[in-house]
A and B are shown apart, each in its own frame.
Chain A
Amino acid sequence: MPLRNFLIGFFLSALSALHAATTIIRGPYLQTATPTSMVVRWRTDTTEASVVSYGLERNQLTSTARAEGIGAEHIVLVADLKPNTRYFYSVGATAVPPPAADKKAPAEDAPGRAAINSFTTPPVAGPAQPTRIWVLGDPGTKNATQTAVRDAYYKYTGTRATDLWLLLGDNAYPDGTDTDYQKAIFEIYPKTLATSPVWPALGNHDQKSANSGTQSGVYYDIFTLPTRGEAGGLMTGTEAYYAFDYANIHFICLDSQDSDRTPTGAMAQWLKADLAATTRDWIIAYFHHPTYTKGTHDSDKDTDSGGRMNDMRTNLLPILEQGGVDLVLTGHSHVYERSWLMDGHYGKSTTFDAAAHVKQKSNGRSDGEGVYRKPRARTPRNGEINVVTGSAGHAGSATKPPALNHPAFFIALNEPGSSVIDVDGLKLDLVFLNDKGEKRDWFSIVKE
């Protein structure tokens, strides 16, 4: 009997040591959030099973979701959730055991396997709900500027949860490799990754290690994005471009880098149909290459970025405007540029005519010349704001500063920063926050 006890004890110790030896080296991070499901991903340094324990109370993670097989890259679909509900969760190879009565649950920031995080499922699509969105363009430099921009946002948002965040491409410099992503995304934003779903777009640097035609490579390996309209919108059949809903907002992500950008291509056809299909109050589109810029890139130059900026402006922007888009978010140019409420400008900057293209010539500020106003009834070509916010990792050169003189823009800044969007019912506010935490631009759109 003592020998048997010894062997059992030895076996349990060995098992425990084996578990203790496994380290989570990436994540957890949240993907393809829908009102009733969440994809939870993480990576371990050894292969093991994939189990998410979750529940409505921190110390009651009584439900589990698992993926088949064992591996180091863990992708678990947590389904049958309630909309707009906060869930606590922990990831590991086994389910979290029920807590002892006298034992406190581990802290949210506890290291390694024991950490308990939480996420809130999106609300049912349609009805309005206050929503905070963090927008990062070209963040992945891994340098002090990137962390300063991050910290400025954390200070700004405080205890207000980030409901979702957008990456506008060039998420991990220089080549979008797995190591680049590890250093530039997973080691920089662990807290936000574990609590808020991230929705990325593909940039030119990401494409160095990815291929949209075959949906292969690092970007496509790292992210789990909707291909079948799981999160709202029409199915695309590809992760390169997609749509999703959050409350009364319809988001559209386009691939300006590596998918067909012609007006008759698959992406354009899908975009047209997707815009016609939505009944959300707000439409926010985002992609990497700006339709207009005079920052670290020049949208007037046909050869700049392989003509992608031209393509997006002349082929895709008319479709977006016809579909009633409200806000177009882009990066690529490492500056902040924000347009007037505008419509119908598809040429070079020399053809911009404020009388023809500006729908409302004000600064869009309630504490200035007044907010932008649009009818709620979706009407084609009622104007949108174009925002280039591509400086979350670095701004343009200080010694060779960009021209920043595109006439479509009300304001242009060569400063690092990120953008914060708050949507509350029929009001949308955007703030550009620089790396020092200063609000350098802001505007509102109100629908009535």
Chain B
Amino acid sequence: MLRALTATATLICAGGAWAHPEIEAALSRLNADIAARPTAAALYLERGELYARHDDAVAAEANYLRAAELAPELPRLNIARGALELAGGRPAEARRLLDPVLARTPQDIEARVLRARALAALKEPAAAVTDFNTALAATATPSPDLYLERAALLPPAAALLSIDEGIARLGPTLALQLRALALEESLGRIDAAARRITQVAAQSERKESWLKRRGDLFTRAGRFREARTSYLEALSRIADLPDWLRASPEVKQLANELHRLSNS
């Protein structure tokens, strides 16, 4: 109730307090349009989204509420409101707004991802994963972040499968490979983790730190001979670097550490 009252007061006092010219210009235009057409719900939605983009959640909500009064079924309105609620740390409210959107338009990817995040915040991982699955299947070029978000909701073995699905679609993207190799190690699959490090190293012009990482992996697994081989290989890669890079304190420090590790 207090939020609604604040929002209404904000709507009445709507005005810009930014020194940013294009925000003021956009706001001025919308204010003028709303003055000319005060019952045009889409304009309130647009003004609310402008406020939301510039982090004035109270003014954004006020405009969304006005739009909802004028046209409760306005397309995108509940998605915008759901996004605002989620950003404000109110996932249950977000879900309440997004459920009917997805009931009407189940193919809406933006709403689907927002609800997946709301469900994750509400500690409903299975439902969140279902939404992520649907969103990923419907997205032509998903970002690695979506795969990582979904994997975070799954137990290690299923998470690994989920990440590998991403790698199959996007290629051996670094962030996915890193998550996969951490999962492989947590599952005790040392050889598989080592293979992933080798794949990442193959992409990299400088391989020494990846080879050290592989050595560290073997060390943690008690496979000291293989660890030493990796450390020595890293040292050999350092020897191949151009003089100016090899002479850097960072590389010298790494080389010293590798010498120590390979002799221990």
**Which A residues form the contact surface with B (CB < 8 A)?**
141, 173-174, 204-205, 208, 211-216, 220, 227-229, 234-240, 259-260, 265-267, 269-270, 273-274, 276-279, 296-297, 303-307, 334, 375-380, 394, 396-397, 400, 402
* In contact, A236 and B173 (Cβ under 8 angstroms): yes
Once A296-B19, A379-B248 are accepted as A-B contacts, the answer to whether A213 and B205 lie under 8 Å apart by CB is: no
Q: Is the interface of B mostly helix, strand, loop or mixed?
A: helix
Assembled-state Cα–Cα distance A402/B176 (Å):
42
Give every chain A residue within 8 A of B200 (Cβ-Cβ).
Answer: 234, 273
Segment among B1-9, B36-44, B135-143, B186-194 that sits at the interface with chain A: B135-143
Once A278-B205, A377-B244 are accepted as A-B contacts, the answer to whether A235 and B140 lie under 8 Å apart by CB is: no
* In contact, B53 and A213 (Cβ under 8 angstroms): no
Give every chain B residue within 8 A of A267 (Cβ-Cβ).
Answer: 175
* In contact, B175 and A270 (Cβ under 8 angstroms): yes
Q: Does B261 contact A (CB under 8 A)?
A: no
Partner among A216, A305, A377, A379 whose Cβ is within 8 Å of the Cβ of B140: A216
* In contact, B21 and A216 (Cβ under 8 angstroms): no
Assembled-state Cα–Cα distance A380/B254 (Å):
13
Give every chain A residue within 8 A of B242 (Cβ-Cβ).
Answer: 279
Min CB–CB distance A311 → chain B (angstroms): 13
Q: Does B204 contact A (CB under 8 A)?
A: yes
Q: A238-B141, A266-B145 are in contact. List 5 more A-B contacts (CB 8 A).
A: A220-B141, A260-B145, A265-B145, A270-B175, A274-B174
* In contact, A237 and B144 (Cβ under 8 angstroms): yes
Give every chain B residue within 8 A of A141 (Cβ-Cβ).
Answer: 22
* In contact, A279 and B241 (Cβ under 8 angstroms): yes
How many residues in B have their beta carbons less than 8 Å from beta carbons of A? 46
Q: Does B209 contact A (CB under 8 A)?
A: yes
Assembled-state Cα–Cα distance A303/B245 (Å):
41
Min CB–CB distance B22 → chain A (angstroms): 6
Min CB–CB distance B168 → chain A (angstroms): 11
* Minimal Cβ-Cβ distance residue in A for B201: A277
* In contact, B203 and A216 (Cβ under 8 angstroms): no
Give every chain A residue within 8 A of B175 (Cβ-Cβ).
Answer: 236-237, 265-267, 269-270
Min CB–CB distance A413 → chain B (angstroms): 16
* In contact, B241 and A396 (Cβ under 8 angstroms): no
* In contact, A266 and B148 (Cβ under 8 angstroms): yes
* Minimal Cβ-Cβ distance residue in A for B52: A306
